[in-house]
Amino acid sequence: MKKVLADLKGHLMSGISFVLPLIIGASLVVAIPKMIALGMGITSLDPYAKAEGFKHALYMIEQVGWTGIGLINTVLAGFIAYSIGDKAALGAGFIGGAVASSTNAGFLGAVIAGFLAGYLVKWSKEKIKLPESFAGVMPLVILPLIATLSVAIVMGALLSEPLAWINTSLVDWIRTMIENDVNKILLAMIMGAMIGSDLGGPVNKAAWMAGNVLLAEGVYLPAIIVNVAICAVPFGYALATLFHKKRFNKELLDAGRNNFVMGFIGITEGAIPFTLVNPLRLVPINMIGGAIASGLGIALGMHAKMPPVGGIYGFFTVGNGWAYLIGLFVGAAFIGFVAPLFVNFNKQEEQTENIELDDIDVSFEN
C-alpha cells in the first residue's frame, strides 16, 4: 500500500512540475500589462478590447496570459497521464483536462482524468498482446483509443456533473471564507502552515496547487497567501544565519546566503538542509512561521487586485503590497530568531534521532 501511495504521489508531483512554469509564465504575462495599465491610471483593460493603439496591445498581451492560465487543468492532466503511461496516454490526458475545464470539474476532474488515462494505457500495455506484425498499431491507435474513449465516457458522461458540483461548491466555500475577515485569516494561517510543513512535499504542493488553480476561477487571494509563506520560510533561515551565526557550521552558513536568493524568488526547498538537522523541532517552527507570514499579511489588509506573481518582488501585484512584505518579514524573523534557539546547527548529534526522513520530499521544485 505504501508503494502504491508513493507511486500516486510521484505521478501527481510530476504533473505539477510541468504546470509550474505554465502558471508562473502566464501569471507574469497577465500581471505585466496590468501593472503598466495601473501606472497609466487604468484599472481594467477590458474596455480596450476593440480599441486601437498601445492600450489595445496591452489588452491583447493580457489575454494571452489568461489563455495560459486556462490551460492549467489541460497540462496537469496530460502530464500526470504521461508520467504513468508515456506518450500513448498524453493525448487522452490533455483531452480529459480540457473537458474538466469546460465542464467546471476543475482541478479534481483534471487529476482524475490524468490518472484514468495513464493507468488505462499502462494496464492495456500489460494485458493486450498482439502479433508482432501489428506491434506498431498499439501505441498509435489502440492505446490512445482505449484511453480517450474511457476518458470520454467517465469525464463526459458519468462524472462531469458530480465533479462540477464538487468543484463549484469548493470554490464557493473558499469565496465565502475570503469574504469573512475572521475566516480569511484562518484560511491564510492554515495554508501558510501547509506551505511550511514538508517543503515541496505533498502537503506543501497541495496548498500551492489549491492556491494557483483558483486563478482560473478568478479567485486570486489564495495564491497570494501561499506566495508570502513560500518566501518567508527559506528567508527565515537566511536571517537565522545572520542573527545566530555562531550556531551554524560553514556549510549551513553558505546555504543561508543562498537562501536570500531562494526567499527572494520563492523556493521553500531552500529550507530543507536546515530542517533535516532536526525535523521534529524545526517542522513545527517552519509551519508557525508560514502561518504568521500569511495570517499577518491578511490581517494587515493585503488583498487581490490581479493574478499575483510569486517571490518577494510579487508585492507589486498585491493590493496593499506593504502588508505582504510585513507579513513575509515577520514570519521569516520568527523562524530566524526561534529556530537556532531550539537547534544548534553546529552539532550533528541532532541527526541521530529516530526520524523517517524519507517522508520529507526533497524535489527541488516549487
| Per-residue pLDDT reduced to its tens digit, 208-262 | 888 877 877 788 899 999 999 999 999 999 999 998 888 888 888 988 888 998 8
For the chain, give the mean pLDDT: 86
Domain shared by 135 and 230, yes or no: no
pLDDT of residue 347: 65
What local confidence, expressed as pLDDT, does residue 91 receive? 94
Mean pLDDT of 133-161: 88
Residues 236 and 98 in one domain: no
pLDDT, tens digit, 9 for 90 and up, residues 148-158:
999 999 998 88
Helix/strand/coil percent split, the chain, to 5: 80, 0, 20
Query: Is pLDDT at 92 greater than 80 in this prediction?
Result: yes
Residue-wise pLDDT tens digits, 188-203: 999 999 999 988 777 8
Number of neighbours of residue 284 by Cβ within 10 angstroms? 14
With H, G, I as helix, E, B as strand and everything else as coil, classify residue 355.
coil
Number of domains composing the chain? 2
Span 128-138, average pLDDT: 80
Average pLDDT over residues 108-114: 91
Instruction: Look at residue 173 and tell me if it is in a domain.
Output: no
Instruction: State whether 204 and 343 are in the same domain.
Output: yes
For 160-193, the pLDDT digits (tens) are 889 888 888 877 888 888 877 778 999 999 999 9
pLDDT at 295 over 90: yes
Cα–Cα distance between 336 and 259 in angstroms, integer? Answer: 12
Same-domain pairing of 50 and 97: yes
Predicted local confidence at residue 246, as pLDDT = 86
- Determine the structural domain holding residue 47 and report its residue range: 2-166
Q: How far is it, in rounded angstroms, from Cα 8 to Cα 84?
A: 9
Same domain as 191, residue 123: no
